[in-house]
Structure 1
Amino acid sequence: MRLDAADRQLIDRYQRDLPVCERPYQEMAETLGLTEDEVITRLCRLQEQQVLSRVGPVFEHSRAGASLLAAVAAPEAQMDLVAARINRAPGVNHNYAREHTYNLWFVMTAPDEDTLDERLDELEQQLKLPILRLPMVEGYHIDLGFAIDWEALP
């Protein structure tokens, strides 16, 4: 798949610093000399073609409320059902399977610690499985933006 200059600019410019405003795609479009619809269409196409896996901001969670990593030991035969239930819980993201006794891992966020605890307690009751709660002790920033050598790509 070939990416044109506008695709490459969109990817390069917005690996970081996605605008946080009422119309971020409009602001991106103005910076890139495109229309808002063109930006949205391009981002959708890039996701459909699996060039991009996700479009959205990453927030410093400690400033935005409360969150923690959690894990569940789901019976193998019920993994899909348990995963689907976890995915429906408010504030859940990054739900993924692991090869471990605790085979489903997810991050849950909430506006505050009390709400987070309530959500986890409720989910635990619904699943009828204990949830391993792993609050962050120390945070690390990993910059996932990369300089892309477009000329070296096929």
Structure 2
Amino acid sequence: MLGAALLGGLLMVSGWAMADEVVPFPKLPEGAGAISAKAPKSFTATESGLKYRILRPGTANKPTAQQRVVVNYHGWLFNGRVFDSSYLRGMPITFGLNQLVKGWTEGLQLVGTGGMIELEIPGYLGYGLQGQPGAGIPPNATLHFVVELIEILGE
């Protein structure tokens, strides 16, 4: 059986941050809002295995899985390579929250309008075993995102 310290080291090498582990804040892309001075230094893990931290809380209004949202986001892999970013395209995107990978659907329901969340999505809540070859996302990749929730449509 692996000891907790060894297991923790293996998880970090594989791209997983352990809950309650102090993790530096991500470098935000140009155009992103500020991180709150009260933002947590570690991630919280949900029952599904999604890890998140609220970088800026926003309002009390949070979307449901059935709603459409307007967001800005920045996504990267463990090695730091950015695979998609609405910030880099210069415009937010609108979509149905239940039309995305499971990690996004779950994670965006945790942040309020005007808020910012950081997500660490394990492969099984992301693109799974197939990955997204066209976007350069390998099979079972852990996905990292910073997402700003601009608006919930149809509130």
Task: Provide TM-score, normalisation by structure 1.
Answer: 0.25
Structure with the bigger percentage of helix: 1
Task: Provide TM-score, normalisation by structure 2.
Answer: 0.25
Q: Mark the structure with the bigger radius of gyration.
A: 1
